């Protein structure tokens, strides 16, 4: 594990920010994204702190002004391989995708054994490249869940985005899980 100190400031034109969305969801895919910004974008922060309209606006700017990669791991992959293995595989793919002369920073506290990827807790709130990756992952995850809500309307994925809200848990109890629900995740 290679952690940045909390107060360390990172300034690098070659920084690839990495974050995921859907890690703790009860259904649907987990998306892992990586982003290298080519110009400064005002307003970047943790995607969870932005409303949907602002995320969409920033998403458009990020797409136009960055190099990025977005990976998706299905519920079946998460159930079969495990969440940690999916994350490790994703980080490895990201590292191989981008030029070796880049620096890599992943939001969190572990790099899952992938050398050359540094970590920082709450990097999505502190580092623009990681904020951008957070937004890319969140917007795509939400779009996927909005689409899947049409096929599985009884779960209201368009509202809960497949996270373990009280309503979502009640709907699973009422209707049972669908093929999108992660069998490896147990309701508490």
DSSP string, 109-154: S--TT-TTEEEETTHHHH-HHHHHHHHHHHHHHHHHHHHHHHHSGG
Residue keyed to tokens 């977005």:
70
Residue 101 assigned as binding residue: no
Residue keyed to tokens 């920084």:
15
Residue 103 assigned as binding residue: no
Residue 20 assigned as binding residue: yes
Task: List binding-site positions.
Answer: 19-20, 107
Task: List binding-site positions for a divalent metal cation.
Answer: 19-20, 107
């Amino acid at each position: 594990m290679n952690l940045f100190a909390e107060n360390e400031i990172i300034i690098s034109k070659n920084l690839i920010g990495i974050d995921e969305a859907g890690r703790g969801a009860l259904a649907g895919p987990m998306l892992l994204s990586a982003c290298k910004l080519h110009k400064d974008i005002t307003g970047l922060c943790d995607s969870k702190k932005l409303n949907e309209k602002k995320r969409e606006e920033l998403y458009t700017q990020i797409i136009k002004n960055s190099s990025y990669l977005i990976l998706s791991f299905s519920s079946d992959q998460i159930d079969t391989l495990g969440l940690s293995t999916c994350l490790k595989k994703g980080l490895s793919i990201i590292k191989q995708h981008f030029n070796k002369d880049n620096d890599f920073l992943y939001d969190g506290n572990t790099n899952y054994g992938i050398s050359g990827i540094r970590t920082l807790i709450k990097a999505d709130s502190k580092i623009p490249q990681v904020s951008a990756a957070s937004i890319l992952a969140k917007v795509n995850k939400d779009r996927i869940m909005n689409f899947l809500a049409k096929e599985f309307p009884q779960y209201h994925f368009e509202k809960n985005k497949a996270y373990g809200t009280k309503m979502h848990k009640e709907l699973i109890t009422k209707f049972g899980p669908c093929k999108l629900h992660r069998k490896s995740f147990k309701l508490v």
